[in-house]
Amino acid sequence: MKATRMRFESFVEWAVAAAFIAALVAIGSIVVREFRTVNAVTPVIAREPVHASPVPAGVPPRVVSVPMLLLDDGKEVRVGDSLVAATSRFGRQEVASQIVDRAPNGERLTRFYQHGGTQFILVFEAFEAGGEQRVAAIYLQ
């Protein structure tokens, strides 16, 4: 009877050990899966901006839009600068005549400049209805 009892006890010990190992493998699998998957913290919205204005008339293809233009002689122009300020910096150094077209808040002026060997295009438009015209875009050629 003692021999049967020892066999039964060793079988129970092996069964408990196997269950413990299986539980460790299952928990390890869950932990590894959680580390390998990435949950988005902030949802990504991949769509075009609502207020994206089309490229103005007369702007050639393959130009690069920049938020700020710094020239060799220290003059600079930024998106948001007023028409008066930009015109006072560059004067009337236009290469071609300006193009006027309609924008959501009035007229849009597209002026082509060459200053110190750099060709660029300034687009002026009002950001609000009846507002002052400001630099809306700067394109480098």
In this prediction, residue 45 carries a pLDDT of: 66
Rounded distance between C-alpha atoms, residue 72 and residue 106, angstroms: 33
- Residue 43, pLDDT score: 67
> 106-115 and 99-103 as β-strands: parallel, antiparallel, unpaired?
antiparallel
> What secondary structure letter does DSSP report for 42?
S
Q: Work out whether strand 118-126 and strand 133-140 pair parallel, antiparallel, or are unpaired.
A: antiparallel
* 3-state secondary structure (DSSP) of residue 75: coil
| Residue 14 burial by Cβ neighbours in a 10 Å radius (0-12, 13-18, 19+) | exposed
Give me the tens of pLDDT residue by residue for the chain, a chain 141 residues long: 565 666 777 888 899 999 999 999 999 999 888 887 766 666 666 665 555 456 777 888 888 889 998 888 888 889 989 888 888 887 666 677 788 888 778 888 888 888 878 888 889 888 888 788 899 899 987
pLDDT at 21: 96
Annotated domain spans of the chain: 64-140
β-bridge partners, 137: 123
User: Residue 19, SS3?
Assistant: helix
Helix (H) or strand (E) holding 78: strand 76-78
The pTM score is 0.59
pLDDT of residue 51: 52
